[in-house]
Structure 1
Amino acid sequence: MLVEPIIQLTREPLNRDALIAAVSHPSIGGIVIFEGVVRDNARGKQVRYLEYDVYEEMAQQQIATIIAEARQHWPIERVAIAHRFGRLEIGEASVIIVVATPHRGEAFEACRYLIDTLKSTVPIWKKEVATNGEEWVEG
């Protein structure tokens, strides 16, 4: 049963449990969750925190397009994608993708496609603030 995707862009902390509950259903055999978390290091630097910026309207549209493309390849019945913006501290989730399909293999493949495509095409930018300066970085 195909259900409208959940797409959230927010400054608030992401709620993994609510996203999982939103895609759960008795017909689902596989739910895969990807959670991207702010780490304390990157490319040899000690990271203090991250700042994300987003072009919200375009990001919403592009995420919807990515989901539609993924649904052409995998039987995604339910999907939720949430991304934070603003300042994020070490250990906080920046992105959560939850994919529900009839079988686990499809869920894994679709989830990987969604995160990889989101990171390379959606207008969300990341600034790393490190102990020795700050810079905007890809992905």
Structure 2
Amino acid sequence: MALTPAPSDPRDRLALTFAPLDLADCYSQAEDPANGAVVVMSGTVRNQTDGKPVVALDYQAYEPMALEVFRAIAAQIRQQWTQVNRVVIHHRTGRLAIGEISVLVAVGCPHRGEAFAACQYAIDTLKHNAPIWKKELWQDGSSEWVSIGACEV
């Protein structure tokens, strides 16, 4: 998979890619012998928004700034949860079909509580701060661009 790495810490894997995301690969990048937990959040394209049928999503991002936001998220995680061993944040761009993975966030840590909290912080902050937009393509042929930050948390 062709990913654009942008690590803030050499143990982190942060990327935007046009290629499909691989759940097993993301998990393996979060593994570390010191981990007692790896928590993974997988965001997928669903078939409706507020009851309106969706057929696909188009994602666009301002890559340099998005990767900087990913770096900042990883750095903030390491400040708040100092035992975190690995942070993985991968986001897709381009057209995605129903069921495809749009974002993967994984956090590896000695303890599950910190791993869950850090993973939730990462996805919530990404959705709020990253310059990533999605165009919802609806079954009736209409479409609309929205910032992922405007989406439900």
Matches of 1:129 and 1:34, distance apart in 2: 24
Q: Which segments of structure 1 move beyond 3 Å, counting only runs of 4 or more?
A: none
C-alpha contact 1:3 1:77 (8 A) present in aligned 2: no
Tell me how large the CA RMSD over aligned residues is: 1.1
C-alpha contact 2:45 2:101 (8 A) present in aligned 1: yes
Q: Which amino acid in structure 1 is aligned with residue 36 of structure 2? A: G
C-alpha contact 1:38 1:91 (8 A) present in aligned 2: yes
Matches of 2:11 and 2:38, distance apart in 1: 16
**1:17 corresponds to:** 24
- Among all aligned residue pairs of Structure 1 and Structure 2, give the percentage whose two residues are the same amino acid: 45
> 121, 124, 138: which one pairs with 1:130?
138
C-alpha contact 1:52 1:84 (8 A) present in aligned 2: yes
Count matched residues. Answer: 138
C-alpha contact 2:131 2:147 (8 A) present in aligned 1: no
C-alpha contact 1:126 1:137 (8 A) present in aligned 2: yes
Give unpaired runs (5+ residues) of structure 1. none
Match runs of 1:34-113 below 5 Å:
34-74=41-81, 75-113=83-121
C-alpha contact 1:51 1:127 (8 A) present in aligned 2: yes
Q: Which amino acid in structure 2 is aligned with residue 104 of structure 1? A: R
What's the CA shift for 1:3? Answer: 4.7
CA displacement 1:26-80 (0-9 Å, x = unmatched): 2100100000000000012100100000000111111101110111111211111
